[in-house]
Amino acid sequence: MKTAPWKIAAAWVTLCVVWSSTWLAIKVGLRDLPPISFVWIRFVIAIAVLVAVSLGRTRLIPPRREDYWVLAFTGFLMFAVNYALLFWGELYVSSGLAAVLQTTIPIFGMLFAHWLLPDEPLRLQKVAGALIALGGVALICARLFSFNGVLAFWGGVGISLGAAGAAFSNVLLKRHVIQLAPAMLAAWQMILGTAPLVVLGLIVDGNPARFHWSRMSIFCLLYLAVIGSALTFLLLYWLLPRMTVTNLQTISLITPPGAVMLGWWLGGENFPLWSIFGAAFVLLGVWLIFRRVKDRQEAEAEVAVPERG
């Protein structure tokens, strides 16, 4: 059975709204919590929620032994690499700028999809968009180095590298279809990807009981774990077989403006002219990547991808 279009649209809009707000929640939570432990505690809570949702309703264990390797590798890229670099980077980069830098996810996703997914070939227009967007990222990182110092520069680079890992993770999941409900697919990725962060966090940050647990930090942690992780990953993996990787990652074009507005309105963040200029290049490039060109080749590519309900 085909999925109703309004359900797909509603899930996509929800992801845009929630992911626009998570950047500021991370920034605020980092005032009290160290980044590595903040990440793993967030996902331990999210895992508990996802498993609780799945108990008695769906299969809990991946059906094939090779599925564990895919889940472990993609989970490591998505959670251990991407989120650890993102949280660390936000110590030195504003929440809005971090959201803009993570917009590189569809750029990397486009390149990886061309390599691994025959039904999503690379087009000249997409290459041009990628070059423009990467130019914007280079401008942002260069100005971060000039105005905010070395740590801000590496924070920006780290966030971009984490985005590449997340994009590769998405493409691999699209290539290796795993017969597992979205909740448990996300939970297994979190379990296998977060495990190394638990060890690293205990070594680097120490006992979580000794952290400064303010009401705001607890609120940010729970919001990120339940709404920003459990709910959104359920929606993400529900959408993954129903949309192409490229179309799904248009979310990355919508969330940066929302994150910038929330960071300015609620977080008191400044967005200098140079960063607006760089962000405009990034968003223009991503827009070019997703802009539909009604030529014969794209029409054939669309027909070649059947909808799966």
- pLDDT tens-digit readout, 95-150: 888 888 887 887 888 888 888 887 777 777 778 887 888 888 888 877 777 667 78
Question: 238 vs 72, which has greater pLDDT?
Answer: 72
Contact residues for 78 (Cβ-Cβ < 8 A; gap 6+) = 165, 166, 169, 189, 193
Query: At which residue do the structure tokens 């697919």 appear?
Result: 185
Distances from the Cα of 261 to the Cα of 132, 229, 292, angstroms: 23, 21, 27
Q: How far apart are the first and last CA of the chain?
A: 6
Q: Which of 108-112, 165-169, 190-194, 242-246 has the lowest mean pLDDT?
A: 242-246
pTM of the model: 0.80
Eight-state DSSP code of residue 266: T
Comparing 303 with 9, the larger pLDDT belongs to 9
Q: What is the pLDDT of residues 66-103, one digit of tens each?
A: 889 999 999 999 999 999 999 999 999 888 888 888 87
Query: What is the rounded distance in angstroms from the CA atom of residue 297 to the CA atom of residue 166?
Result: 28
Residue ranges in 123-272 assigned as alpha helix (H): 124-148, 150-175, 182-204, 215-222, 232-239, 245-248, 251-265
More confident residue, 178 or 215: 215
What's the mean pLDDT in 158-169? 92
pLDDT for position 225: 94
What's the average model confidence in pLDDT over 266-281?
A: 79
120 vs 163, residue with greater confidence: 163
CB 60 within 8 A of CB 239: no
